[in-house]
């Protein structure tokens, strides 16, 4: 039994915020300097009444149309999101109904961020290998921008909203290889929204300065950029080596790399540490920003459209971030 990617599509909201728009809020900001470092010129923002579930639905519809997929043939739905429509039920259950997928299909959400696409591929492969499903609809959707404080110019410059859809099946154009996954919950405070869950149900309006004198709000997304950067430089090079070992291939056997599109500076640093050539390493978040769990699928789709990835290639994909968590796999096109 093998598992394959059979189709990839995505959806981006219509509203676009450019760096010039951000300068209106932060006139002291050097837009050229920041854009050069993070690699983002513009990002898409979900409308006020547009949820992650809405975006996932649109990404799935795009997938169905592009690949002539009959939703009646889907027997499992996975939705990766940290901004679900409700605390309960799972947004995936709502999508089963909206997309016309049979009631015999399984469906659930899983709460994960930047590594979520890779984790979803692993779950989907497991479902197929176990004989539980034959056609798994993997959806990733996030509206991080709704959880950013208006004064948080750093994160507002990086993150954008978006959704992606991928059909994982018993046949397709990219065989899914062996996974390496990891978790370190001791770093949970490095990327967090403290209020809104059972631990801190009500908003606190509390704000404090971290050690780098960045404002940390309980009620909005907080990211300790320097600690996340350090974590990434510790985890990803080792992840890179483990993926090669797990898939029994050498570095020279990998034709292309699509890593989570965190920001340009971080990606270039990873590339240099892992000693990877520019022409084999994907970086393109100028018009989307960091779309969290959707960056890998958006990147793979972009590479397929522009023929950076063609049949016969071995492609390494990785995700890393909130959790702290990380994961990677080899895709054989």
Q: Is the pLDDT at 261 greater than 90, yes or no?
A: yes
> What is the C-alpha to C-alpha distance for residues 119 and 112, in angstroms, rounded to an integer?
8
> What is the C-alpha to C-alpha distance for residues 154 and 34, in angstroms, rounded to an integer?
9
> What is the C-alpha to C-alpha distance for residues 328 and 320, in angstroms, rounded to an integer?
9
Tell me the pLDDT tens digit for each residue of 267-291: 999 999 999 999 999 999 999 999 9
Q: Do residues 56 and 95 make contact, with C-beta atoms less than 8 angstroms apart?
A: yes
Residue 212 lies in a domain: no
Residue 139 lies in a domain: yes
Last residue in a domain, options 109, 139, 172: 172
| CB-CB neighbours of 199 under 10 Å | 7
Residue 209 lies in a domain: no
| CB-CB neighbours of 40 under 10 Å | 24
> Quick one: DSSP state of residue 197?
S
Specify the pTM. Answer: 0.95
Lowest mean pLDDT among 172-181, 184-193, 197-206, 259-268: 197-206
Same-domain pairing of 36 and 115: yes
Residue 219 lies in a domain: no
Last residue in a domain, options 152, 172, 192: 172
| pLDDT for 214 | 78
Same-domain pairing of 37 and 109: yes
Bond prior to 310 in cis (omega within 30° of 0)? no
Residue 311 lies in a domain: yes
Residue 210 lies in a domain: no
Average pLDDT over residues 127-156: 95
The tally of domains found in the chain comes to: 2
Q: Is the pLDDT at 218 greater than 90, yes or no?
A: no
Residue 327 lies in a domain: yes
Q: Is the pLDDT at 217 greater than 90, yes or no?
A: no
Among 83, 62, 315, residue whose Cα is nearest residue 167: 62
Same-domain pairing of 17 and 118: yes
Q: For the chain, give the percent of residues with pLDDT over 90.
A: 84
Average pLDDT, the chain: 95
Among 248, 97, 264, residue whose Cα is nearest residue 177: 248
Assign 46 a pLDDT band (cuts: 50, 70, 90): very high
Among 289, 315, 290, residue whose Cα is nearest residue 304: 315
Average pLDDT over residues 153-164: 94
| pLDDT for 317 | 98
| pLDDT for 162 | 98
Average pLDDT over residues 67-96: 97
Looking up residue 41, the CATH number of its domain turns out to be 3.40.47.10
Residue 256 lies in a domain: yes
Domain hosting residue 294, numbered range: 180-184+224-332
Assign 31 a pLDDT band (cuts: 50, 70, 90): confident
Same-domain pairing of 87 and 152: yes
Q: For the chain, give the percent of residues with pLDDT over 70.
A: 100
Average pLDDT over residues 293-312: 97
For residue 75, the cross-strand partners are none
Same-domain pairing of 164 and 231: no
Q: Which helix (H) or strand (E) holds 133?
A: none
Please enumerate in sequence order all residues whose Cβ is within 8 A of that of 2, keeping only pairs 6 or more positions apart, or say none.
170, 175, 176
């Amino acid at each position: 039994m093998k598992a394959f990617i059979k189709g990839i599509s995505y959806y981006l909201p219509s509203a676009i915020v450019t760096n010039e728009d951000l300068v209106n809020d932060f006139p002291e900001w050097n837009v050229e300097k920041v854009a050069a470092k993070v690699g983002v010129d513009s990002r898409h923002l979900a409308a006020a009444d547009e949820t992650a579930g809405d975006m996932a639905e649109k990404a799935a519809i795009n997938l169905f149309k592009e690949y002539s997929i009959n939703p009646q043939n889907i027997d499992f739905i996975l939705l990766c999101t940290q901004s679900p429509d409700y605390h309960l039920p799972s947004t995936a259950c709502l999508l089963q109904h909206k997309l016309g997928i049979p009631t015999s299909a399984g469906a659930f959400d899983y709460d994960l961020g930047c590594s979520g696409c890779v984790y979803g591929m692993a779950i989907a492969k497991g479902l197929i290998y176990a004989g539980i499903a034959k056609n798994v609809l993997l959806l990733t959707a996030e509206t991080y921008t709704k959880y950013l404080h208006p004064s948080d110019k750093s994160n507002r410059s990086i993150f954008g909203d978006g959704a992606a859809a991928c059909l994982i099946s018993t046949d397709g154009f990219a065989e899914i290889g062996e996974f390496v996954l990891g978790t370190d919950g001791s770093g949970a405070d490095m990327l967090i929204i403290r209020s809104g869950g059972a631990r801190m149900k009500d908003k606190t309006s509390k704000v404090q300065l971290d050690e780098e004198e960045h404002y940390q709000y309980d009620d909005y997304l907080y990211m300790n950029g320097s600690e996340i950067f350090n974590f990434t430089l510790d985890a990803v090079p080792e992840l890179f080596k483990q993926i090669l070992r797990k898939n029994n291939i050498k570095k020279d056997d990998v034709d292309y790399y699509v890593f989570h599109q965190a920001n340009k500076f971080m990606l270039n640093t990873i590339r240099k540490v892992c000693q990877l050539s520019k022409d084999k390493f994907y970086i393109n978040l100028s018009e989307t920003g960091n779309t969290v769990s959707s960056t890998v699928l958006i990147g793979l789709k972009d590479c397929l459209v522009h023929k950076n990835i063609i049949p016969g290639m071995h492609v390494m994909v990785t995700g890393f971030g909130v959790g702290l968590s990380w994961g990677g796999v080899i895709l054989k096109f």
